[in-house]
Structure 1
Amino acid sequence: MDKFSSVFVSLGIVAVSLIAGYLAGDILHTLIRLVLPLPSVELSTGNLVTTGIYVLSASLVIFTALAFFRPAPLFASAERAATQVYAWGAAWGAGSLALFLLSSSVFPHQLLVGAFAIGVALFGLGYAALGKDSDVAGRSNFTGRLGAFAKALFGLLRKPLAWLAILITLAPLGAAAAYVKSQEFRDAVAEFRVRQNVSVDGDWITVPVNTKTQLLQPIMIRMEPGASNRMLVLERAGRLYRIGYPDDGTKELLVDFSAQVGEVNLENGAMGFDFDPRYTQEDGSARFVYLYFTSYTADAQTNYLARFDLAAGSAQDILASQQNLIAVGRPPSQYHNGGHVEFGPDDMLYLSLGEMDMPDKQQTIDTTLTGGVLRIDVMQQGGAISRPIARQPQNGTTQGYYIPLDNPFADNGDALGEFFAIGLRNPFRFAFDKSTGNIWAGDVGSTVWEEVNLIAAGNNYQFPFVEGREPTDVARPGTVIGKETGPVYTYRHTAYDRSIIGGLVYRGSRWPSLEGKYIFGDNYSGKFWAIPATGEQVETVETLGQADKYAQRGFTSIIQAPDDRILITVMGSSNSPNGAIVELVRKDGGAGSSIGGGGEAAAAAQVAMTEKEIHESFVTNCARCHGEQGRGDGPDAEMLTKALGAAPTNFLSADFANRPRPLIRQALVGGGAAVGMSEAMPPWAGVLEDEEIDALTDYVIGLREGSDGPAPE
C-alpha cells in the first residue's frame, strides 16, 4: 500500500505545482527573460491541461517504477524524499521534452519552469512537515528535517542514477537554449513537429518550377515587366537575379548588396522588391528596382528602402547606382522588420514595416517609421499630387521621394506624412486586388493571434492594445489615431500555425474555383488557405494544401504570373541552395495545370510527346530530388536524406533495375506511400496526364539501360 500512496501523493504534488506555475506565469516569465530571451506565451487552461497530460503521464511512469524499487513511504527518510525529487526532475524533463517535440500546443516555458521549482519545494516542505525519522539527531523538528533533506539531495550526487536524472531534467532546457541560439535547430524542430502533428487533406499540391536553377533562400519573385519569359528572384542574403520562366537554366546576377545586409538570421535580410511603374519605357531611363532590406551587426541595425538602376550596366555598376530613400535605425534584435514593397494601381510605392521591437514607438506617427504601411511618390510628381518631405524620422533619414497629398496624415504637421495605415505588428506580405484595388495583408502576430487585414487609408489596426479581436494587457492609448479596424480573419496560434504569409486575390481563368478568393498561408506549418475576397469578416477558411518545407525554410511569397499560374517561393536551408519556386496546382488536374502540362489548356487532341519534351518533363518534375541524370543526387537529396533517413532513388542502380514496370508506374501515380516507400515522393496523378506518366515511367527505366530517352518498346 505504501508504494501506491507514495505514487498518488507525488502525483498530487505535481498537479498542485502545475496549477501554481500556471497562476504565477507572468512573474516567472519575467525572471526567465533574465537568462533566455524567450517570447511571452499567453497561458490558457488549454495549455495547462495539455502540459498536465504530458508531465503527469511521465510522472506516473517514473514514480511507479521508483515505488517498486524503493517501496519505503515517501517521507520515511530524507534520502527517500530526496530520491523522489530526482525522479520528479526526470519526469519533468521527459514530459517537457515530449511536449516540446510532439504536441501541437504552444510550449509554455514559464508554466513548466515554475512547476518544476514549486514541485521541488513541495517535496522538501512535505518531508520537513511529515518526515518520520525523528529518532535521528537533528531531525526532530521542521527546520532540522529541512536541512537533512537538502543534505540528502547533495549526497545522492554520488550515485550515477542521480546524474542520469539530472541529464534528463536538463534536456528541455538545453533544447530551449538551442532553439533560441540556432536557426537550423529551430527549423529542424519545426519540421519535426509539423510532420508529427499536421495532416493536411487539401485538393492542392505544389510542384517545382526552378528545376534547372539552384537558389539559396529565395524570399521573393516577380515577373519582369514587359518580359513574360523572365522573372527576378531576390535571395535573402542580398542578391537579385534574373532567371528564365519557365526555368531554362539561366541565372544572371543583377546586383549583390550582401555586404550591406551583413548577418542574416531570424527575420533579417533582403525582404521585398518591386519595379518602377516606368520600367518598360523604351528609352530605359527608369529601369529602377526598389528593394527593402536590413543591415545588421551585433551592435546596430539599419533598415533600408533603396533604389537600384538596372540599366546602369554590370552588377558592380548597378550596385554603385544605389540611392537610399529610407534609412531607419532600430534595436539590433532582428525581429519584426515587416518587409513588403509594392506599387499600387495609383503608381505610388507602398511599403509595409513591422514595429521593429520598439514598444515605445507603437501607435505613434510623429517620431519614426514603424508598425504600419507607408505610401510614397517615388516619381516626385508634385503639383496637385504630392509635395516634398517636410519631416524626418528621429532615428533615420529619408530622401528621393515626395509625400502624396491625399495620404491620411499628410496635412498633420506633427506627423510623418508617409503613413498610410498604422497599428500593425509585422505585416510581411500584402497585395492589391486587381479587380477592386483593395489591399490585403497578412499581419504576423505576437504569441496568440495571426491576422488577415484589409488595409485602407487612415485605418488603425489596434496593435498592441488589441490582437485578433481581443484586448491585450497593453493599455489603450488615451487618443487613438485613425479609424480603429479589426481583422477580416484571425486564427489562434498552435505550435505550428503561427506565422502568417500574406498572399494574393486570385483573378484569372486558369483556376476558376479560386476566382475572387484571397489565398494566403502560414510559413511555419506550410499550410495554404483561401477565403472569399469580399472584405466581410469570416470565421472559417478553405484548406488548400501544404508546402514541403516549414518555419524559416518554408514559403515566403505568393504571386500570380501573367499566365495566371500561382507561383510560390520556398526558402529552404540557409547553407544549401535547395530553395525553390513552386507552383500551386490541383491534385485532380482540374482547370489549369502545372508548367509540365495537363488541364484545360491541354484539352485539345493529344499528340505523342517528343523525346525532348519527355526529358524536360523529367527535369521539371523529378530532377530536384533524383538529379538530372537520375542518380538520386538532386539539390533536395541531401535534405531529404537527413530528414527521412533514406536517399531519393538512384535510377541507375542495380536495385532499381529489378523493379517491375507496373511498380514504377504506380509510384508515379500514387506517390511513394502507394508502394510502401517514402511519402516524400508525391503522387503525380491529376498533375500529369496519363500519357506523361507512361512516358516518364519508360524514361526512368531507360536511364538504367543507358538511354537518354524512353526505353524502346
Structure 2
Amino acid sequence: MKKQLKIFLVIALFASTACTKETEEKTTGTEQNLPLVAAFPELSFTRPVDFQHAGDKSNKLYVVEQRGVISVFENEQKTSTKATFLSIEDRVEDSDNEEGLLGLAFHPNFESNGYFYVNYTASNPDRSVISRFNLSSTNPDEADPNSELVLLEYEQPYGNHNGGQIAFGPDYYLYIGVGDGGKSGDPHGHGQNRSTLLGNILRIDVDQENGAMPYSIPDDNPFAGNTEGFKEEIYAYGMRNPWRFSFDTATDQLWVADVGQNSYEEIDIVKNGGNYGWNTMEGFHCFKADECNQENLELPIWEYDRDEGDISITGGFVYHGEALPQLQGLYIYADYVSGRIWSLDFSDTENPVNTELFKADFPISSFGVDQNQEIYICGFDDKIYKFGLE
C-alpha cells in the first residue's frame, strides 16, 4: 500500500494532463457505464504493466509484472493456475516507480522461431535494456533465462520517464517507446535532440544484423544514413514519456499516449519522421512561454487537462473485437491516477468525440488484447479486468 501511495505522489508531481485544441471545441459523448469485471478472478499479479498474446493460436496469455516476472496462463475465465514464463528479477532495477520490466513483444514468427523481446531497467549504470530471449526447447510454457541476447542499451539519467513499450509493427519492425530521461521539464533537452535515443519512438529491424550490431536500421527510417550525428534508430521524436502505444489493426496507424508535464496529456497518431513537440509544446500549448515556434511540429489529435483529477495518461487500443460492437473502431484509453476510462471516436478528424466509459477505483497501468482483439485492463490492485455488459 505504501508503494502504491508513492506511485501516486511521484506521478502527480512529474506527470501531466490535458484538454483539446480549444476547450470550447471539445466534444464529449454521452457518458456510458461499461462496468469492469475481473477477467480471471482466481489469478492475481504484482503490479501488472503489460498484457500480451503470442499470436501463435495457443489461447495463452502473458502478463508482465514490473518486478521482473512474466506469467503465462490459459485464456479461460475460470483458470486458477498460472506458470512463470520468465523471471529476471535479479537483472531488473525497479526501486523507482517508473523502472522495472516494462514491455514484452513476441516476434511475428514466434510460433516457429520461439523469439520474444523485453524492455527493462537495469542498474550500475542505470539504463534501459532491450533484449531477446528464446522459448525453452523442452517446455512451451517456459522461456530460457540463459538465452538473453542484448540488442540495445541506453542510459537513463533519472528514475522516471523510462517509457517501456515495445511492439512489432505491421512492417515486422520492432518499435520502442523511450521517455526523455526524466526529471521535470526535460532539463537536458532530449526531446528535441536527435543525437540521443531518449525522447523518441525507435524502430529497428531485429531480423537483420549489421556488423557487430544485433539489429539493423530500416532503410526508410527518417535519419538512416545521415551524416549529422542523428540516431538512425529514431522513427519519431519530441516525446516526453510515451506510456503505451499500439497499432490500429484496420489502418496500421500508430497511436501513442504521451504523458505530459504540468497541464496536459496527449494522444498522437505518429508518422515516420514526425516531431511531436516536447519540450517546445505540451499538448496543443506552448510549454515554456505564451508563444513558441510550432513550425514543422505534429500536434496531437486529442488532449485533456487535470481539471477533474486526471494526471497521467495510459494508452490503449483501437477496438476491433466482437464482444462490444458499440466500441468498434474507437480508441480506448485511461488515466492512471483518476481511473477514468474513455473511448475516442476519431472518424471525423475535425470533430473527435470523447466519451467516458467507466471510472475505476484503482490505478490503470496498461491495456492489452487477446488473439480475438478483445480488450483487457491491467489494474494496480493486482487484477486483470475486461468490460462487462451494461
Q: Fold match, TM over 0.5?
A: yes
Aligned-partner residue type, residue 204 of structure 2: I
> Which residue of the partner structure matches residue 122 of structure 2?
295
For residues 224 and 67 of structure 2, what CA distance do their matches in structure 1 show?
35
> Which residue of the partner structure matches residue 377 of structure 1?
205
What pairs up with 1:170-569 in 2 under 5 angstroms? 183-186=3-6, 202-247=32-77, 248-281=79-112, 286-296=113-123, 300-313=125-138, 318-331=144-157, 333-357=158-182, 359-360=187-188, 361-366=190-195, 368-380=196-208, 388=210, 399-413=213-227, 414-473=229-288, 483-494=296-307, 496-534=309-347, 536=349, 538=351, 540-549=353-362, 554-569=363-378
Task: After superposing the two structures, state which structure 1 stretch, 563-572 or 417-426, moved more.
Answer: 563-572
Cα distance, 1:213 vs structure 2: 2.2
Instruction: Assess if the C-alpha contact under 8 Å between 1:223 and 1:231 holds in 2.
Output: yes
Instruction: Assess if the C-alpha contact under 8 Å between 2:320 and 2:374 holds in 1.
Output: no
CA gap 1:527/1:303 in 2 versus in 1, 3 angstroms: same
Instruction: Assess if the C-alpha contact under 8 Å between 2:61 and 2:370 holds in 1.
Output: no
What SS does the aligned partner of 2:387 have?
strand
Root mean square deviation of aligned Cα: 2.7
For residues 174 and 350 of structure 2, what CA distance do their matches in structure 1 show?
27
CA deviation profile, 1:495-535 (whole Å, cap 9, x unmatched): 73010011101123321111111111101111111111438
User: Taking CA–CA contacts closer than 8 Å with sequence separation of 6 or more, which of the two structures ends up with the larger relative contact order?
Assistant: 2
CA gap 1:453/1:345 in 2 versus in 1, 3 angstroms: same
Q: Which runs of 5+ in 2 are unaligned?
A: 11-29
For residues 374 and 537 of structure 1, what CA distance do their matches in structure 2 show?
29
Cα distance, 1:324 vs structure 2: 1.0
For residues 217 and 69 of structure 2, what CA distance do their matches in structure 1 show?
29
CA gap 1:429/1:189 in 2 versus in 1, 3 angstroms: closer
> Which residue of the partner structure matches residue 584 of structure 1?
387
Aligned-partner residue type, residue 584 of structure 1: F
- TM score, norm. by length of structure 1: 0.48
CA deviation profile, 1:382-431 (whole Å, cap 9, x unmatched): xxxxxx37xxxxxxxx9311000011111312221110100010001011
Cα distance, 1:262 vs structure 2: 2.9
Aligned-partner residue type, residue 370 of structure 1: L
CA gap 1:537/1:268 in 2 versus in 1, 3 angstroms: farther
For residues 206 and 351 of structure 2, what CA distance do their matches in structure 1 show?
36
CA deviation profile, 1:7-32 (whole Å, cap 9, x unmatched): xxxxxxxxxxxxxxxxxxxxxxxxxx
Structure (1/2) with the larger strand percentage = 2
Aligned-partner residue type, residue 223 of structure 2: F
Aligned-partner residue type, residue 324 of structure 1: V
For residues 151 and 291 of structure 2, what CA distance do their matches in structure 1 show?
33
For residues 294 and 269 of structure 2, what CA distance do their matches in structure 1 show?
23
For residues 62 and 99 of structure 2, what CA distance do their matches in structure 1 show?
20
Cα distance, 1:493 vs structure 2: 2.0
What SS does the aligned partner of 1:513 have?
helix
CA gap 1:531/1:188 in 2 versus in 1, 3 angstroms: closer
What SS does the aligned partner of 1:402 have?
coil
Instruction: Assess if the C-alpha contact under 8 Å between 2:67 and 2:89 holds in 1.
Output: yes
For residues 342 and 329 of structure 1, what CA distance do their matches in structure 2 show?
21
Q: How many residues align?
A: 363
CA gap 1:537/1:295 in 2 versus in 1, 3 angstroms: farther
What SS does the aligned partner of 1:541 have?
strand
Aligned-partner residue type, residue 325 of structure 1: L
> Which residue of the partner structure matches residue 173 of structure 1?
none
For residues 467 and 535 of structure 1, what CA distance do their matches in structure 2 show?
23
What SS does the aligned partner of 1:259 have?
coil
Cα distance, 1:301 vs structure 2: 1.1
CA gap 1:410/1:428 in 2 versus in 1, 3 angstroms: same
Aligned-partner residue type, residue 583 of structure 1: K
Aligned-partner residue type, residue 500 of structure 1: I
- TM score, norm. by length of structure 2: 0.86
CA deviation profile, 1:49-84 (whole Å, cap 9, x unmatched): xxxxxxxxxxxxxxxxxxxxxxxxxxxxxxxxxxxx
CA deviation profile, 1:242-286 (whole Å, cap 9, x unmatched): 1111152221112211111134332111111110111112xxxx2
Instruction: Assess if the C-alpha contact under 8 Å between 2:47 and 2:380 holds in 1.
Output: yes
